[in-house]
Structure 1
Amino acid sequence: MSVFWLALGAFAIGTEGFVIAGLLPAIAGDLSISVAAAGQLVTAYALTYAVGSPILAVALNNIDRRTVLALALSTFIAGNLAAMVASNYALLLASRMLMALGSGLCMPTALAVSVAVASPERRGRAVALVTSGLTVATVIGVPLGNLVGSLLGWRATFAMVAIIGAVALAGLLLGLPRGLPRNTASLGERLAVARHRNVLLALVITILWALGGFTIFTYFAVPLRALGFDAARISLALLVFGAAAAIGNVLGGLLADRLGTAATAALGLIGMASALFVHSLVLKFLPGQAHYAILGPIFLQGLAGWAFYPAQVASIIRIEPQASMVALSINASAMYLGFAIGGGLGGAVLAAWSPGDLGWVGGLSVTSALLVHLARGWQARPKPVKIAG
């Protein structure tokens, strides 16, 4: 039962992390800032997560895991409450950075605790249950949060997330035992894993994949509003994306087992890059039909983009099987670094060009990830043996 509360905490974190994309126009209007400036709320969150997560994990290495989880979720809840009452952009930015510190500490700790509290034969399922909290958030939490924000104002969405986080915190305080194992890697161990050549290449691929996706997802609602989507239809579009992401996550795992991680990751990147390019093509050249046609690339982006991720995770585990948790923690930081750069780049695209150009830029980034992935695979191929004579 304690793993359920870990999953609920992940659900709250996933909801807050992704729902902001649908709220940016409303936040921008309320605080009298540009949408591009509002988009830096995503960049600041992701960058704080990427940098803060490994530092906090090492700094709190010797503290009881139950206490660390309580601190992490309390920080996350406080950040949401601060956002709810923020009177200006600077305070809202600071509150999102506070949320990111809580999230970046909570998620890797929750995964480690899920393994510690589960019996050996149930550890895989325990980890899957915790990570499913993030997946379910894209399907249920994000559309629901966007709908709440449209009906009651964007501040109500932060209040909703704070309540969910508080329920998860109460459940963990009641259900988790003290004295859980403390096996967080030291900073030196993390750097040693990160210096592995194949791990470095994998991190570059993760960054480019995340950068491309968040160049456009950060400003998800902007082109939709330009097409005349109201709040209910934007929530529907978010539901389409979330459902596709959930399907893609499962499909990616199945294909990785059948086709191999390299082929599955390549297919995911090809599909995602295609979706991002088509997104811009629809907005640029089918303005009359874009209101309906835009849902196609949105679905394909979620499906292909999140089919790539489990294959990428599996490949990283194979690179460093003896330090898989460390490698995956570094990969998570790389992902959020990509989110941060993507949010900033998307804002620059909006400032210089138009929402219809976001897909071109995002697609080029994912294509770059594909090229690095293919080059890595080519270099890893066995070299032919030359026979003398």
Structure 2
Amino acid sequence: MDLRVFILAISTITVGLVELIVGGILPIIADDLNVSIGTAGQLISVYALVFAIAGPVLLSLTAKIERKKLYLVTMAIFFAGNIMTFFSPTFTFVMIARVITATSAALLIVLSLTIAAKIVEAPKRAKAISYIVMGISSSLVLGVPLGILITNAFGWRSVFLGIAILSVCSFIFVSIFLGKIPMSEVQPLSEQIKSLANKKIVFAHLATMFMLAGHYMVYAYLTPFLETNLNLNQYWISICYFLFGIAAVAGGAFGGNLAGWVGSKKSILIIIGSFALVLFLLPYSTFSFPFFIVIMMIWGALSWALAPPQQDYIIQTDPVSSDIHQSLNNSALQVGIALGSGIGAVVLGHTESVTSTATVGGGVVVIAFICAVVSISMATGKARRTREAQADY
């Protein structure tokens, strides 16, 4: 694979760490800044909200800027946001810094996806995207334990100083190895707005959103699930998270390779359908810890396997507007994370059973499968217009 793709993937890991790395250290942050844990939790929710909105909006506003230059400028802003977090004396300043990092991270991740897709040949596109997805998934999944480890050793602020240093390294490598990236055709804003009405891609975005929602209904409450159903202590729970993280990172590569073998459309249906079955099976796998580990790792791999074929499918469906739709798909992912966590909390409140989140989560993924089938079964705009013209003739 092209060295430039690996550099972009490493940069994506650095950028992705910021989002959930605070999850495991919220009590420490709250205590240091003299706020409640609930208030500190807004550092995650506000980040996700800003991230979801900023990606497509900034991609549209910066369409005329050369991609490498834009990447470097945005990475510099990301660096500044993390330095601001390190020195912030109050919660308000930390929140402002989170908004800055969320805004810049949203643009950096979608730029990594779109640039990776452009600098390789079409047959290797899904695989290139899979490396970027591996970067995103590894940072989101491994960020929490990494944040806890660094905080215990050096304090919570050092987490953001470390990310700032890593961003400098990414800046240097991108500036050296990445050449100028030709800009895609720039559509007028009115045309970009019209592209958002493409029902075929809208249902693809919904498939992403509902799959991640079903996933996070379970993953957000994995610790109580393990405690309740397997009676695991913190040591073994940490082992489970570590194994899940390894599987999730590998899942990104699996999704890219699968798309190369059977095509993006079939891959999407295989991954979402299998994911639903695994979630339904999960509560019944706890009779044996080794068997549960196997099922859990399959779950972890499938959780991030969808992105490469989905991004490739979006590019194939609407090449002209693919950049904006790749960004929107990433936003759909963020909305799915927030939605799944919220629905999971409601399910727990009504059933008082953490096991039920897997069953309901599987049902939500079935909705994702239906959305994917609807999207794939729709004709593209060009094909539809051709058939209509033939019918008129």
- TM-score (structure 1 length as normaliser): 0.76
Kindly state the Cα deviation for residue 75 of structure 1 after the two structures are TM-superposed: 2.6
Counting only pairs closer than 5 Å after superposition, residues 137-152 of structure 1 correspond to structure 2 as: 137=139, 143-152=145-154
Match of 1:266 among 260, 266, 269: 269
Match of 1:197 among 171, 196, 199: 199
Alignment partner, residue 386 of structure 1: none
2:167 corresponds, among 165, 168, 171, to 165
Match of 1:61 in 2: 63
Partner of 1:33: 36
Bigger mean CA deviation after superposition, 49-58 or 86-95: 86-95
Partner SS state of residue 36, structure 2: coil
Rounded Cα–Cα distance in structure 1 between residues aligned with 2:43 and 2:134: 25
Q: Summarize deviations over 1:14-60 as a string: whole Å, max 9, x none.
A: 2333444444565567666356x655433322221121112112222
User: Judging changes above 3 Å, is the alpha-carbon distance between structure 1 residues 10 and 316 closer, same or farther for their aligned structure 2 residues?
Assistant: same
8 Å CA contact retained: 2:25, 2:147: no
Determine the structure 1 residue equivalent to 2:316: 318
Amino acid at match of 2:62: L
- For 1:129 and 1:42, locate their aligned partners in 2 and report how far apart those are by CA, in whole Å: 25
8 Å contact from structure 1 (residues 246, 306) kept in 2: yes
1:265-307 Cα distance to aligned partner (Å, 9 max, x none) = 233223323444455567xxx6xx7987764553232222223
Whether the 8 Å contact between 1:205 and 1:372 is mirrored in structure 2 is: yes
How many Å separate the matches in 1 of 2:161 and 2:346? Answer: 30
Q: Equivalent residues in 2 for 1:66-145 (5 A)?
A: 66-85=68-87, 90-114=92-116, 118=119, 124=125, 130-137=132-139, 143-145=145-147
Give the alignment of 1:173-192 within 5 angstroms. Answer: 173-176=175-178, 180-183=181-184, 185-192=187-194
Tell me: CA distance 1:157–1:182, structure 2 relative to 1, closer, same or farther (3 Å).
same
**What is the CA deviation profile of residues 102-158 of structure 1, one whole-angstrom value per residue up to 9, with x for unaligned ones?**
111112233444567x58699847656555533554676665444323444444333
Deviations 1:296-324 (A, max 9, x none): 55323222222333332333233224443
Cα offset, 1:216, TM superposition: 3.7
Residues 1:317 and 1:121: Cα distance change in structure 2 (over 3 Å): closer
CA change 1:378–1:181 in 2 (3 A) is closer
Q: Secondary structure at the match of 1:307?
A: coil
Q: Distance in 2 between matches of 1:301 and 1:254?
A: 18
Q: How far apart in 2 are the matches of 1:360 and 1:29?
A: 36
Structure 2 partner of 1:384: none
Per the alignment, do residues 130 and 72 of structure 1 end up closer, same or farther by CA in structure 2, a change over 3 Å counting? same
1:240 to 222, 240, 243: 243
Report if the CA contact (8 A) 2:26-2:37 is conserved. Answer: no
* Contact 1:148 1:156 survives alignment (8 Å): yes
Contact 1:194 1:330 in 2 (8 A): no
- Equivalent in the alignment of 2:371: 372
Letter in 2 for 1:182: M
Mapped partners of 2:253, 2:49: distance in 1: 28
**Aligned positions, number:** 371
Q: Mark the runs of 5 or more structure 2 residues left unpaired by the alignment.
A: 380-393
CA distance in 1, matches of 2:121, 2:310: 24
For the pair 1:10 / 2:9, whether they are aligned, the reply is no
The percentage of counterpart residues that share the same residue type is 26
Aligned 8 A contact 1:39 1:219 in 2:
no
Equivalent-residue separation in structure 1 for 2:242 and 2:188 (angstroms)? 39
State the Cα distance separating 1:101 from its structure 2 match.
0.3
How much has 1:169 moved relative to structure 2? Answer: 1.9
Q: Note the C-alpha offset of 1:204.
A: 1.4
Superposition map of 1:221-240 within 5 A: 221=223, 223=225, 229-230=233-234, 233-240=236-243
What amino acid sits opposite 1:59 in the alignment? L
Match of 2:384 in 1: none
The AA in structure 2 aligned to 1:79 is: G
Answer whether contact 1:185 1:326 (CA < 8 A) is retained.
Answer: no
Number of the residue aligned with 1:385: none
Give the structure 1 partner of residue 338 of structure 2.
Answer: 340
* Shift in CA distance, 74/321, structure 1 to aligned 2, threshold 3 Å: closer
Partner of 1:48: 50
Segment drifting more, 22-31 vs 63-72:
22-31
Q: Which amino acid aligns with 2:255?
A: G
One-letter code aligned to 1:309: A
Shift in CA distance, 349/89, structure 1 to aligned 2, threshold 3 Å: farther
Say which SS state the counterpart of residue 306 (structure 2) adopts: helix
> Equivalents in 2 of 1:121, 1:256: separation in Å?
12
Q: Are the aligned partners of 2:268 and 2:306 in contact in 1 as well (CA < 8 Å)?
A: yes
TM-score, structure 2 as length reference = 0.76
Deviations 1:201-251 (A, max 9, x none): 111111111222233434555655785543x65553333122212332233
Evaluate the alpha carbon distance shift between residue 41 and residue 221 of structure 1 in structure 2; reply closer, same or farther with a 3 A threshold. farther
Question: In 1, distance between residues paired with 2:61 and 2:358?
Answer: 39
Partner of 1:62: helix, strand, or coil?
Answer: coil
1:22 touches 1:221 (CA, 8 Å); kept in 2?
A: no
Distance 2:35 2:288 in 1: 29
CA distance in 2 between partners of 1:50 and 1:24 (Å): 22
CA deviation string 1:182-206 (max 9, x = no partner): 3365533432322122112111111
